[in-house]
């Protein structure tokens, strides 16, 4: 028995791996295959593209946040029922958590999962030199199986043939196709605000055309053969085996403003006894009746600040529940929504839920980016003393409190340790996107806290 999967990696950011990944997913779908997408690293944007193209929820693979066993389990679980899984890399093949090791890199994930790598090379303005680039990527870590190459941004079919001859002669790996500069459909600039339009299907025509374009110059059938490999053993801790009857109902804000959720986070909450009820603050849907907790994930409430500000009923329902003691976990965009107001880069200020006293100001520049290992501060019901959970921080806003509040997390990243987030009433809020499978006690404690409130109020 075998599986089929490929890693689509680039020599660096901008090599064209996302274009080729989406194009290949669409091409395989057009051939009638069931395709599963994965993205290396803690990215929310590219998985939204994968999901739109394949019709299956794309998942993140991250060897630092997940560890080897959870990563394997997520891959095996997500791939069930698929004919082929396509794993899109992050940055360059060997770029990861730090420059001194492969940890967290696409290469690391390919080795852990025993997955063949298709290397996307920007071949503009070169011919034989492309072989030197491929040779370097082949030999840098010989555990990595570079099983094929796609030449990107070639000038013509003739140019492609020169590149192909050089690489196959010097490197001994097949060059399975190409995309010419002139043939490429313009890839929309990827940014957080584009996700809602992707989810609404506004780019479906683009995806379909890209699939046809890729099929014309890339040997998709050969790639399907190259993708054959051994199944990934489900060596993880059995994350998806936990089955508990629902003991509480948990409201989850999920719409165009709040949609950054790791699927495993939601699935673990269900596994530990939560019935999830989704609602849309942007659409004016108030906190559902009869719920015992609230999870407000990340997103970009700043883009929808005017709409959210006008939803007085939504804001009032959230405030009232929190004042009654309902347990709440709010991360990044959810943290912003609970504040008194959001101030845009243009200086416009919009009132939010008004639970957390202070303003979230959009700065126009990145305030934080990187992996985090977060420990809970005193009073944080998600984490016991001495425990940590892994996650990722990425935001352009900065919080200015009206008065000092208890801190939620002691967060460790490449830049050192810093305190972040706030605790008040039964609210845990902060900028860090937590990855629950890195410490399954976190979702279990969340559910238990909700059950306690359900019983005792």
Q: Dump pLDDT digits (tens) for 113-154.
A: 999 999 999 999 999 999 999 999 999 999 999 999 999 999
Residues with Cβ within 8 Å of residue 249, at least 6 apart in sequence: 274, 275, 277, 288, 290, 291, 292, 293
Q: Calculate mean pLDDT across residues 190-207.
A: 70
CA 366 to chain centre: 18
Mean pLDDT of the chain: 93
**Calpha distance 446→231 (Å, rounded):** 34
Nearest Cα neighbor of 195 from 297, 96, 309 is 297
Please report which helix (H) or strand (E) contains residue 390, including its range. strand 388-395
Are 15 and 122 in contact, with CB atoms under 8 Å apart?
A: yes
- Listed residue (266, 224, 232) closest to 80, CA to CA: 232
What is the distance, to the nearest Å, from the Cα of residue 133 to the centroid of all Cα atoms in its chain?
A: 29
pTM beyond 0.75: the answer is yes
pLDDT of residue 201 exceeding 80, the answer is no
> Angle, to 10 degrees, between the axis of helix 45-54 and the axis of helix 17-30?
20
The pLDDT of residue 344 is above 80: yes
Cα 419 to Cα 422: distance, rounded to the nearest angstrom:
9
* Known catalytic residue at 171: no
- pLDDT > 90? residue 56: yes
Tell the burial category of 298 from Cβ atoms under 10 Å away from its Cβ (0-12, 13-18, 19+): buried
pLDDT at 191 > cutoff 60: no
- In this prediction, residue 186 carries a pLDDT of 66
Q: Give the pair of three-digit tokens for residue 164.
A: 């192909």
Residue 406 reports pLDDT greater than 90: yes
What b-and-e string marks burial along 433-449, b requiring 16 or more CB atoms within 10 Å of the CB? bbbbbbbbebbbbbbbb
d(CA 262, CA 72): 16
Q: How much is the pLDDT for 235?
A: 66
Contact between 93 and 114 under an 8 Å Cβ cutoff? The reply is: no
Q: Is the pLDDT of residue 98 over 60?
A: yes
Q: Is 194 exposed, middle or buried (0-12, 13-18, 19+ CB in 10 A)?
A: middle
* 288-307 average pLDDT score: 96
Q: Which residue has the higher pLDDT, 366 or 80?
A: 80
- Burial of 265 per CB tally in 10 Å (0-12, 13-18, 19+): buried
Whether residue 94 contacts residue 76, with contact meaning beta carbons closer than 8 Å, is answered with: no
Catalytic residue among 40, 123, 171, 332: 332
Residue in the block written with tokens 């389990």 = 73
**Banded model confidence at residue 441, pLDDT cuts 50, 70, 90:** very high
Taking the C-alpha atoms of residue 190 and residue 202, their distance in angstroms, rounded to an integer, is: 14
Closest CA to 204 of 1, 415, 25, 445: 25
Kindly tell me the number of DSSP H helices and DSSP E strands found in the chain: 14, 25
């Amino acid at each position: 028995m075998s599986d089929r999967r490929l890693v689509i990696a680039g020599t660096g950011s901008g090599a064209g791996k996302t274009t080729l990944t989406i194009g290949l997913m669409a091409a395989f779908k057009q051939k009638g295959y069931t395709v599963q997408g994965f993205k290396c690293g803690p990215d929310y944007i590219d998985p939204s593209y994968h999901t739109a193209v394949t019709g299956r929820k794309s998942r993140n693979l991250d060897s630092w946040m997940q560890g080897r066993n959870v990563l394997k389990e997520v891959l095996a679980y997500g791939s069930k029922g698929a004919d082929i899984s396509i794993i899109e890399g992050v940055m360059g093949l060997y770029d990861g958590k730090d420059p001194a090791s492969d940890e967290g890199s696409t290469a690391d994930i390919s080795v852990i999962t025993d997955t063949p790598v298709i290397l996307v090379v920007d071949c503009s303005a070169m011919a034989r030199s492309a072989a030197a680039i491929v040779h370097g990527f082949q030999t840098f870590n010989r555990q990595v199986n570079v099983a094929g190459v796609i030449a990107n941004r070639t000038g013509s079919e003739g140019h492609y043939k020169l590149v192909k001859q050089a690489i196959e002669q010097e490197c001994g790996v097949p060059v399975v196709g190409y995309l010419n500069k002139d043939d490429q459909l313009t890839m929309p600039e990827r940014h957080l605000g584009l996700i809602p339009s992707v989810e609404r299907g506004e780019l479906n025509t683009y995806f379909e055309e890209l699939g046809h374009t890729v099929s014309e110059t890339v040997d998709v059938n050969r790639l399907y053969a190259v993708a054959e490999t051994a199944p990934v053993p489900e060596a993880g801790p059995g994350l998806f085996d936990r089955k508990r009857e629902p003991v509480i109902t948990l409201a989850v804000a999920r719409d165009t403003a709040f949609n950054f959720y790791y699927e495993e986070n939601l699935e673990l909450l269900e596994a530990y006894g939560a019935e999830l009820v989704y609602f849309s603050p942007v659409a004016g849907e108030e906190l559902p009746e009869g719920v015992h907790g609230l999870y407000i994930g990340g997103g970009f409430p700043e883009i929808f600040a005017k709409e959210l500000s006008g939803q007085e009923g939504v804001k009032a329902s959230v405030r009232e529940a929190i004042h009654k003691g309902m347990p709440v976990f709010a991360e990044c965009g959810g943290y912003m929504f609970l504040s008194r107001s959001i101030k845009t880069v243009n200086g416009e200020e919009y009132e939010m839920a008004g639970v957390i006293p202070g303003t979230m100001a959009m700065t126009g520049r990145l305030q934080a980016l990187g992996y985090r290992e977060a420990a809970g501060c005193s009073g944080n019901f998600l984490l016991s003393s001495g425990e940590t959970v892994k996650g990722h921080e990425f935001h352009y806003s900065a919080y200015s409190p009206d008065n000092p509040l208890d801190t939620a997390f002691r967060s460790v990243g490449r830049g050192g340790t810093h305190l972040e987030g706030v605790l008040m009433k039964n609210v845990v809020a902060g900028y860090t996107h937590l990855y629950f499978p890195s410490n399954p006690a976190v979702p279990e404690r969340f559910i238990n806290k909700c059950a306690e409130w359900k019983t005792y109020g």
